[in-house]
Amino acid sequence: MTLLLPPTEYHARRDRLQALMATRGLDALLLTTDSDIRHVTGFLTRFWESPTRPWFIVVPASGNPVAVIPSIGAHLMGQGWIADIRTWSSPDYEDDGVSLLAAALAETVPPGGAIAAPDHDGTHLRMPLADWARLQALLPDRRFAGDGGTMRIARMVKSEAEIALIRQSCAIAGRAFARVSEIAAEGVPLETVFRRFQALCLEEGADWVPYVAGASAPGGYGDVISPATDVPLARGDVLMLDTGLIRQGYFCDFDRNYSVGQPSAEVARGHATLVEATQAAFDAARPGATAADLFHVMARIVGETDAGRLGHGLGMQLTEPPSLIPADQTVLEPGMVLTLEPAVTLGPGRILVHEENIVIRETGPEWLSPPAPLEIPVI
């Protein structure tokens, strides 16, 4: 179960990483987060919810990765393709895997060589800062460096297997969204709608539902990251539900808007504008276009907003590179999976946000989420 994809998938990922490392002069990659470790190993667990224990994967310049992990994970990691699994009983306040990791790195990286960790936007090092300092002190004759975007580049283009998994998650959310009128109506508190919507996602096949956000407010909402209140839906509200659910370790990330009762002309027009902007970005989403190009296509239609970006990559994480912002010059390639997420401002504190998921193909884009109609659905 831990290895959802065939071993050839992981061998190809190893080879790709090592090719990128070679061009950057990196002797080892040190990975510490769920999605980076899963990219290399296939290790899938919800145990990342516990912050206590650190987990380490070392990808050498050649040969197979080494797992340096708490013993509680040995049984599960042992079901995958990684053969070299080194464990300690964690938590250990004296030495929580640091000397074991240093030994693995010392075997892998020659003196003077470079140990690289992802250090760019959207990343963090998932180990205590004090242990990071201790690790560097144990290896004074190795260099610690950033990964030069190695993981970003390696993960941004998805394999066919990954695209199929994201498509599956999108289809599950699409079926759940199609049933929202079963669970939401005037008078139902928003927090009840959130709960029932998550239950719909599970019923339709989600393994779990890490992300639901949204709002319901008259003629548009104030933000898209708030938890639900206990305020009942009221006639004239726009209800928005945004979900990142997971099936077999891969996310979807898209939303739907609903009008509680007949929409105002302003809301109807706002929704249609969002769908048009999404369609325009879809039409532009061809290999060779940039992430910035898609931003500008949408921004020309929807105007200024506070959202910061109008879409992003998607995969093992709810949001991944690239970002659809003016500064992101990432050139779109076949296999990239993106969200298109335009927003319109209808008035002070009243926005509408729409989101769809697509994959870039040689011949152009394909929808992964079932695209929403121009007319906002009425509940």
Give, as ranges, the residues between 246 and 305 that touch a second copy (CB under 8 A): none
- Binding residues among 170-199 for a second copy as defined by CB under 8 A: 191, 194-196, 198-199
Cβ distance to a second copy smaller for residue 78 or 110: 78
Q: What Å distances lie between residue 260 and 226, 234, 364, CA to CA?
A: 19, 7, 36
> What is the rounded CA–CA span in Å between residue 333 and residue 359?
10
Q: How far is the CB of 362 from a second copy (least distance, A)?
A: 28
Q: How far is the CB of 69 from a second copy (least distance, A)?
A: 11
Q: With binding defined as CB under 8 A, does residue 92 bind a second copy?
A: yes
Residues that contact a second copy, how many (by CB under 8 A): 80
- Binding residues among 128-147 for a second copy as defined by CB under 8 A: 128-131, 146
Q: With binding defined as CB under 8 A, does residue 89 bind a second copy?
A: yes
DSSP letter at 175 equals: H
Pick from 16, 24, 47, 188 the residue near a second copy by CB under 8 A: 47
Cβ distance to a second copy smaller for residue 146 or 364: 146
| Tokens 């879409």 belong to residue | 311
Cβ distance to a second copy smaller for residue 121 or 361: 121
- Binding residues among 199-238 for a second copy as defined by CB under 8 A: 199, 202-203, 205-213, 222-229
Give 13-17's long-range contacts (Cβ < 8 A, gap of 24+): 13/39, 13/40, 13/154, 14/40, 14/59, 14/64, 14/65, 16/154, 17/59, 17/150, 17/151, 17/154
- Binding residues among 334-353 for a second copy as defined by CB under 8 A: 349
- Binding residues among 302-331 for a second copy as defined by CB under 8 A: 306-309, 312, 317-319, 323, 325, 327-328
Q: With binding defined as CB under 8 A, does residue 94 bind a second copy?
A: yes
Count CA within 13 A, CB hemisphere, residue 194: 20
> What is the rounded CA–CA span in Å between residue 3 and residue 258?
39
**356 has which bridge partners?**
340
